[in-house]
Amino acid sequence: MVAGARPNFMKIAPLMKALAGDPHFETILIHTGQHYDDNMSGQFFRDLGIPDPQYHLEVGSGSHAQQTAEIMRRIEPVLDQLRPTAVIVVGDVNSTAAAAMVAKKLGIDVVHAEAGLRSFDRSMPEEINRIVTDAIADLLLVTEESGRTNLLREGVAADRIHLVGNLMIDSLQQHLERARSSDIADKLGVRGRSYGVVTLHRPANVDEPEGLGEILGALGAIAETLPLLWPVHPRTRARLANQDISLPAGLRLLEPLGYLDFLSLEANAKLVLTDSGGIQEETTVLGVDCLTLRDNTERPVTIELGTNRLAGTKRTTILAAWEHTKRSPRKKQIPPLWDGRAGERSREVLRQFYGRPASKGSLQEHRLAAP
């Protein structure tokens, strides 16, 4: 099982838990080190109860080409030595595509969890990673119906596609009560107060001063009536420093937060503004209004059933979406199979795919639940 960045960790934790103790599987965790400092990696491992990885590649940062190439270079001898039955990759980061390509060229099966999502925007590095990984995967575990539809349209055989639900929501449900007991709201002085949460890290949003200025202008206007808390990704903080940007009042910058502290703030927020895919999913389940600071999303169910709205990246479009949200807040609807059992369903699909006997009752439940 390969992980490298914060979004990966929330997805591997429930799958590792589901496979732990199952006599038909032995799991080995490889951490590529794509996210490498304690705030971005170590704290998440502790919060989610993920065991120390057996292999840590310590790749670190770099351009997309440099990082992808370094992951491939360092993971190849590990996989060549282990020769596992399959390599499980999750999500859409560089670690996902790099590990999948190396495994496939070594003749090792590739299992992609969170397969089939498409923004249809190939300017996004994540979209390229998704397309490449799905094209070579042997088994594709899907979070929402759009993923299954996209894969079928791309010619993937139906018997390799399995709608299992959302592993990230497994983590949310398993840890929500612990998150609610976090003291982060007290530390920040927002307990019982209305506030919003911001996350922003995509290159298209933070690399160009003009574009970032549009977003900050909207955040400043919103912060005049709703204080905004912004745990700043290290990459984004570097861009803010290099561009010498003055921040609007009411926008409070924080260091990156651990999983439990962030989930605590997110669950109690009045509004979340984000360019993250996973946070669109979390806010949908939490029933918190979300404005996605992008022109597209690969997670359409969060708009069709959830609390998410596409707000664009211009000051005017973001503020218009905020006004619309205040007038017509979304009702909480949880998408099908986002019930905290995606890890169990994934385990049963793996059992079936590799010819192992099903757990008592579980596979039957999977067949009844999945369309």
Q: Write the CA distances from 199 to 9, 88, 234, 280, integer angstroms.
A: 18, 28, 12, 11
Q: Where are the beta strands (DSSP E) in 165-287?
A: 196-199, 228-231, 251-254, 271-274
CA distance 139 to 142: 10
Q: Are the beta carbons of 268 and 185 closer than 8 angstroms?
A: yes
Q: Catalytic positions, please?
A: 201
pTM of the model: 0.93
Q: What is the pLDDT of residue 369?
A: 41
Strand partners, 161: 140
pLDDT digit string (tens) for the chain, length 371 residues: 999 988 899 999 999 999 998 999 999 999 999 766 665 577 888 999 999 999 999 998 889 999 999 999 999 999 999 999 999 999 999 999 999 999 999 999 999 999 999 999 999 999 999 999 999 999 999 999 999 999 999 999 999 999 999 999 999 999 999 999 999 999 999 999 999 999 998 888 988 889 999 999 999 999 999 999 999 987 788 888 877 778 888 999 999 999 999 999 999 999 999 999 999 999 999 999 999 999 999 999 999 999 999 999 999 999 999 999 999 988 889 999 999 999 999 999 999 999 888 776 554 444 434 43
- Binning the chain into helix, strand and coil, the percentages to the nearest 5 are 50, 15, 40
In degrees rounded to 5, what are phi and psi of residue 63? -65, 170
Q: Which domains does the chain have, with CATH numbers?
A: 2-164+341-369 (3.40.50.2000), 174-327 (3.40.50.2000)
Single-letter amino acid, residue 363: L
